[in-house]
């Protein structure tokens, strides 16, 4: 298979600010695999929190010398044979894994969800993210997000209680909050107790990763379910958290793609954990790849493509209730958007 990688620039409608950092442009790598006259699309949006970046990802993919050996219909064998400098980077691995799944589905003549044996009507609605901004802007963005029935509010600001209070005064939609590891355990307990009367569906990553015991203490002290995000990259990270959280946020870019994500979903289920599917700021290529797994998820947060104004691809879409609608074309079912 011929491999190519080229950079995509995705411009955000509003500055994407979370507790750690903010940006207006997201850069990802679009990966194409050519095989038997077919093109498989993949995308890498490297997980910065885990120390990966675009340059290292580009170098690792260029190190393949434009070739990937093997048959995409036997994608396990191809992924198992990736050179260590690629396998070490989960964003790069995810891009190849997604493109291989695209080709495998196309070769089988089936949309990826069918190839995976899934029921597309079981895909949940996606939440829509409200990034950190001055309170009045966050409220304006909530009003702007009228068509989205589920909101995810970024917190970890030092003014989290007034933010939730202000947002709750203008909407009765379910609210999820994401602290992105910003709180200490004491702050997490205090803030969650203060906001739980406003009706919070769950909180993502209230405290920094690495201390399951502290996570367990927070969980016992509050009435808001906890979903681990930064604490969980791959399947190995799940068992230590089994009785410390209520669920895990699985992202293709953290774990290395669809193959590992399926393993994580099965493991999380076997431990009685809820499954959330999340994303980075990505085009419809990577978002659609995650969307094909959405029938297996309790919660979807696959809005990276709708937060940008110039997504160059189309794939999974949203119905009037923001439920993910999976493409019926073979493979991933994405294609470049007509200008
Ligand atoms: Mg998160």
Residue 36 Cα to ligand 1 middle (Å): 39
Residue 128 Cα to ligand 1 middle (Å): 12
* pLDDT value of position 262: 98
* pLDDT value of position 300: 98
Q: pLDDT means per 10 residues in the chain (339 residues)?
A: 98 95 96 98 96 97 97 96 97 98 98 98 98 97 97 96 98 98 98 97 98 98 98 98 98 98 98 98 98 98 97 98 98 93
Nearest C-alpha neighbor of 274 from the set 226, 329, 231, 332: 226
Angstrom distance (rounded) from CA 268 to CA 184: 26
Angstrom distance (rounded) from CA 180 to CA 326: 29
Residue 337 Cα to ligand 1 middle (Å): 28
**0.95 exceeded by the pTM?**
yes
* pLDDT value of position 254: 98
Nearest C-alpha neighbor of 44 from the set 311, 35, 56: 56
Residue 104 Cα to ligand 1 middle (Å): 30
User: What DSSP line would sit under 72-97, residue for residue?
Assistant: GGGHHHHHHTS-HHHHT-HHHHHHHH
Angstrom distance (rounded) from CA 301 to CA 127: 5
Residue 108 Cα to ligand 1 middle (Å): 34
Residue 180 Cα to ligand 1 middle (Å): 6
Residue 202 Cα to ligand 1 middle (Å): 11
Residue 269 Cα to ligand 1 middle (Å): 20
Residue 309 Cα to ligand 1 middle (Å): 22
Residue 259 Cα to ligand 1 middle (Å): 21
Structure letter (DSSP) for residue 331: B
CA R_g for the chain: 19
* pLDDT value of position 339: 67
* pLDDT value of position 338: 85
Query: Could you count the other beta carbons within 10 Å of the beta carbon of residue 128?
Result: 23
Residue 281 Cα to ligand 1 middle (Å): 12
Q: Which two tokens stand for residue 169?
A: 């005064």
Residue 169 exposure: Cα atoms within 13 Å on the Cβ side: 11
Q: Ion ligand 1 — residues with CB under 5 Å?
A: 178, 204, 229
Residue 250 Cα to ligand 1 middle (Å): 10
Residue 106 Cα to ligand 1 middle (Å): 32
Residue 120 Cα to ligand 1 middle (Å): 25
């Amino acid at each position: 298979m011929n491999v190519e990688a080229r950079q995509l620039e995705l411009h955000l409608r509003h500055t994407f600010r979370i507790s750690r950092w903010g940006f207006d442009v997201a850069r990802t790598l679009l990966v194409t695999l050519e095989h038997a006259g077919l093109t498989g699309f993949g995308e890498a949006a490297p997980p910065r929190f885990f120390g990966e970046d675009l340059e290292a990802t580009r170098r690792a993919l260029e190190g393949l010398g434009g070739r990937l050996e093997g048959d995409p219909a036997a994608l396990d064998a191809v992924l198992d044979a990736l050179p260590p400098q690629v396998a070490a980077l989960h964003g790069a691995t995810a891009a190849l894994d997604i493109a291989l799944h695209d080709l495998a589905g196309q070769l089988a003549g089936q949309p990826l969800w069918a190839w995976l044996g899934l029921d597309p009507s079981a895909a949940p609605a996606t939440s829509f993210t409200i990034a950190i901004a001055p309170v009045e802007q966050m409220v304006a963005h909530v009003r702007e997000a009228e068509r989205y029935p589920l909101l995810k509010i970024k917190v970890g600001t030092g003014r989290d209680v007034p933010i939730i209070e202000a947002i709750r005064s203008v909407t009765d939609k379910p609210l999820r909050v994401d602290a992105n590891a910003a709180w200490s355990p004491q702050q997490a307990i205090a803030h969650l107790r203060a906001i739980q009367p406003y009706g919070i569906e769950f909180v993502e990553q209230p405290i920094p990763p690495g201390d399951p015991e502290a996570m367990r203490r927070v969980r016992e002290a509050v009435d808001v379910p906890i979903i681990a995000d930064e604490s969980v990259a791959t399947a190995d990270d799940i068992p230590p958290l089994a009785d410390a959280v209520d669920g895990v946020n699985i992202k293709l870019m953290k774990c290395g793609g669809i193959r590992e994500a399926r393993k994580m979903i099965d493991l999380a289920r076997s431990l009685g954990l809820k499954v959330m599917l999340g994303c980075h700021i990505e085009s419809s290529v990577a978002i659609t790849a995650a969307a094909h797994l959405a029938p297996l998820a309790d919660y979807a947060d696959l809005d990276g493509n709708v937060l940008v104004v110039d997504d160059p691809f189309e794939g999974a879409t949203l119905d009037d209730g923001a439920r993910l609608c999976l493409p019926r074309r073979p493979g991933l079912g994405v294609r470049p958007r007509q200008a």
